[in-house]
Structure 1
Amino acid sequence: MELLILFLIELSCTLSVLKSDQCLDCSKLIRKQDCEYGNCIWSNNGENSEGYCINNGSGIDSGNSDVNVSFCKGISIPEQNCWKVKGCAYYNQSCTFFTGCSAYFFHTTFDCQHISSQCISEGDGCINAKQCIEYLTQDICENSGSSSGSGKCKWDSVIQKCRDELCSEAGIGLTTDQECSKFRFGCITKGQGCAESPLKECNTYESQGQECSKLIGSDGACENLQGSQYCQQKKCETAPNNYKSDEQCDKYLKGCVSTGRGCVQKLYPCTSYQKDCTSYVGSDGICEYEEKSENCRSRKCENGQFNSDEDCNQYKIGCVSNGKTCADSLQSCSSFKGNKSSCLGYIGLDGLCKGIDDTEQQRQQILNR
């Protein structure tokens, strides 16, 4: 029993992590549970389908003053940016460690805000900013910082109350989850600006004042819908008709392939096309006209007039040359008919071919037999 107790004590010690030893860079945490334990944000939106860890926008470890001082002194253009950064204060023309609003004795919110966005004043020194909902007048609401949300407040003229800024009120210059989360916890990017998680579908976005082609919805990339005030989900079929390669279509929208005249998500057989057959590509290859039919068909090897395997395979994948035309596969020389003159140039399974005599109906023999 005593051994068991000693083992548990030793185990608990090995699992303890000092505050100074904890990771300060959220992006280095690769497990969701480590990310959330480290006061970071786990994001599932982006190219990495498994998610990744991002900073929660709260700045740096306020418990480590040495780190804070070093970080604050490194802020560029401190007179413009220092007061915006949590954990830092702009005082006496220097960006330094923020020791709390009560350390600064100014009589106006304007002056206190220039020290730190976390401070306001009610006339007798700087105090901590309140939550937006606690501000009762429009003037105080719009000119005071906030301890909640993005750190700024908005006056709602409909309900006549002060509220936190909404994710949708972030600037359109914010294009990543990290930037949106820093603006306000819980915000994610919609490609241009921010939105509450989860994202809505493309057809809920209004096109006025923003470019649909730069937006992302829950259903993927968005695009303009002609004649509508709303966006729509971007589709392969809306790509320009002059996109003739898979590379162009995939660049337009990931996963799209070319029909030779535009893009689709999935190719269908040539028989699904009508008119302009030679311009299309189907799931069965390049298309051509079918005699006495309105529908197209895939190319036939025997219609390719080429004398090399490379050209025949380019005409239709899998075709080979018999020396004069293309074929599905090579046959023996004896399968061809001709005379000494017309047989020359043919290639069979058994090599180059020749005619036996001048009679047209005589079968060919192998030239090197």
Structure 2
Amino acid sequence: MAEDPWVTIIGLGEDGPAGLCSASRSALEAAEVIMGPPRHLSLLPGLAAERVAWPVPFADGIERLLALRGRLVVVLASGDPFWFGAGAVLARHLATEEWRALPGISTFALAASRLGWPLETTGCFGLHAAPLTRLRPHLAMGARLIVLLRDGEAVTALADYLCETGFGESRLTVLEALGGPRERITRARADALPEAEFAHPVCAALELAGGPALPLASGRADDWFESDGQITKRPVRALTLSALAPRPHEHLWDIGGGSGSIGIEWLLAHPTLAATAIEPRAERADRIRANAGRLGMDRLHVVTGAAPDALAGLTPPDAVFVGGGLDTALLGWLETHLPQGTRLVANAVTLETEALLTNAQARLGGDLLRIELSEPAAIGPRRGWRASYPIVQWSVVL
């Protein structure tokens, strides 16, 4: 018979052991060591177990926990340890048979029960250690969000961020120490948050009003991205994202990132997507990072360097976009190094690159598309169509 797990992860609420199930209480009584944040440890009654405060940063506690192997250990976490909690991190460092979890009521469930909100239609975010800009794609008139925050000061920072993005009239409900004797609920508009000291643990519930919202469709307006003019313009970007055809859990290489607009819009398509932007100019690489962070896509990995040299060692892609700088050497590298089945999309403006794409399509197959766009421009007192440089797009599955 397999041995019982030596680690039990218990979700503890602000009401302490009173809100625990019988299995959780039994695990606490049998424990030889109890690890957890000082706040959680302070909620426990007198127990025989040794108490160990989990250190900050959190990662420093993993080694200390593993050194206790062979003893019965309880690790305390907040509410549901597997919903923006410590559970997933701990599980990665332990074998399946070494741990079990006894979750409590999540902060999201407690907040929804106070507000009367259906969780299935409410956005839930854990921003203990993540920037507030992660919310940007979700800020839209009428949306409801529940956001776990690092501390009381983050409440003011959240209200300020809502005002900066045009959502200052949103209704903000601050919920402190839910489920315990210190529970407190404060309601205000984001632009009229009272001067008060909010205490950890704290979350905020948002009923959003204002704007502008970030559009959902590919081909967002160019002014969402800062650039020095090196940007795949909106209509071409929409066609390019359509050709790249992002699918869940895929990884994109955006070679010659420019402003980062292709990589950012790829990531906006689905939360499981990953992307790497490769940009030879340092100032543009910095601008890509800034654009990605501002739009909540700070998970965009930016590599400063020129392809193909900068591509060595990167996580293999499922799709590759080359917006500029494609030559025979780069195309040859991509052909010989990319996994079979990789989707490649390349755009050309110059005659030389167009010829390269035409020859590549004749040799490797795929589709060629010529994109010609015109915009109205003044011709004396009247207007006429001013054509942009035509763009040739090649898309192929290698």
Same fold (TM over 0.5): no
Higher relative contact order (CA 8 A, sep 6+): 2
In the superposition, the TM-score normalised over structure 1's length comes to 0.21
In the superposition, the TM-score normalised over structure 2's length comes to 0.20
Bigger share in strand: 2
Q: Greater Rg, structure 1 or structure 2?
A: 1
